[in-house]
Amino acid sequence: MFIQRLCIIGVGLIGGSLARALRRVGACDEVVGCGRNTANLEHAIELGVIDRYETSPARAVKDADMVVVAVPLGTMVSMFSAISDALSPQAVITDVGSAKATVVADAHQHLGRHLSRFVPGHPIAGTEKSGVAASFAELFENRRVILTPLLENEQQAIAKVTTLWEKIGANVVNMSVAHHDEVLAATSHLPHILAYSLVDTLAKMEDRTEIFQFAAGGFRDFTRIASSDPKMWHDICLANRDAILKTLGSFNTELAKLTEAVRQGDSQCIEDIFTRAKTARDKFAG
């Protein structure tokens, strides 16, 4: 058996889907869930996602050979602190956080002798849904998972985390922490910020009922991610603040150019922007 005892701290969409996927391919013998919401954990047992659960992180990681920390970024530091003394000397630890610099800093501060076996990770997968009920085994199939290995990491630990994701059909790539945070600020964090901001702006308008009543498919498609967990994205904004601000600055500069083109009736400028955007989007989609 690849994993004897898997501990998932945070049995939600990502943690639950990972447990389901590993079970489906027969990669783990036992799955222990951990969280504060006992109703969610009981439901996870009913769904067959986990075998048992603990509300104490220290008890949950006892004798686990693989620990996956899938909690919001704002609680990562307290989680590392809670599990550090209880981890098995052989346990390999990873996470699924969308920003890595703060996670790595928290790990350096609290994981101590276990740092060599902590391999930061981030699956580029998800939906706007949350909770274990939204989890499904196919979530990571043909999706990228970014690992940001540390200089302190044992090669065996990196290999085990890589294999964990590859066994469930994911494509693993390695990247530096700083580069990861810059790329994700542009490709994931900025789109979520824009979706939240747009919906909030329209919701404040006096005729908001009519606006949402007549919203078409484009609006639904663009704003779907504004239904994501606000707490999670709040934490991401703060954790990856510098990279997000840099990306927001670039976006605001380009938006100001488009705003001025509309104000001036600059037909050619507007068409050029839209044409470049369509070409880039079509190339990406293809």
Confidence bin at 219 (pLDDT 50/70/90): confident
- Tokens linked to 250: 């670039």
**b/e map 243-271, b = 16+ CB within 10 Å:** bbeebbeeeeeeeeeeeebeeeeeeeeee
Q: Which residues contact 169 (CB under 8 A, 6 or more apart)?
A: 21, 140, 141, 142
Domain count, the chain: 2
| Claim to verify: residue 208 and residue 280 sit in the same structural domain | yes
Indicate which CATH number applies to the domain containing 91: 3.40.50.720
| Claim to verify: residue 46 and residue 160 sit in the same structural domain | yes
Burial of 169 (0-12, 13-18, 19+ CB in 10 A): middle
User: pLDDT tens across 45-75, in order?
Assistant: 999 999 999 999 999 999 999 999 999 999 9
| Claim to verify: residue 266 and residue 278 sit in the same structural domain | yes
For residues 238 and 75, the answer to whether their CB atoms sit within 8 Å is: no
User: pLDDT tens across 117-172, in order?
Assistant: 999 999 999 888 999 999 999 999 999 999 999 999 999 999 999 999 999 999 99
| Claim to verify: residue 203 and residue 106 sit in the same structural domain | no
Q: Where are the alpha helices (DSSP H) in 32-176?
A: 38-46, 57-60, 76-83, 101-110, 155-166
- Nearest of 174, 83, 192, 187 to residue 122 by alpha carbon: 174
| Claim to verify: residue 126 and residue 61 sit in the same structural domain | yes
Residue ranges making up the domain that contains 230: 179-285
| Claim to verify: residue 109 and residue 193 sit in the same structural domain | no
Q: Which of 175, 196, 224 is the last residue of a domain?
A: 175
- Report which DSSP code applies to 2: -
- Nearest of 110, 70, 68, 63 to residue 87 by alpha carbon: 63
| Claim to verify: residue 218 and residue 273 sit in the same structural domain | yes
- Nearest of 110, 67, 112 to residue 92 by alpha carbon: 67
| Claim to verify: residue 212 and residue 162 sit in the same structural domain | no
- Three-class SS string for 43-79? HHHHCCCCCEEECCHHHHCCCCCEEEECCCHHHHHHH
- Report which DSSP code applies to 12: S
User: pLDDT tens across 261-278, in order?
Assistant: 999 999 999 999 999 999
| Claim to verify: residue 157 and residue 218 sit in the same structural domain | no
Q: Which of 136, 151, 175 is the last residue of a domain?
A: 175
| Claim to verify: residue 187 and residue 143 sit in the same structural domain | no
Q: Indicate the pTM of the whole model.
A: 0.92
pLDDT at residue number 207 = 72
| Claim to verify: residue 90 and residue 125 sit in the same structural domain | yes
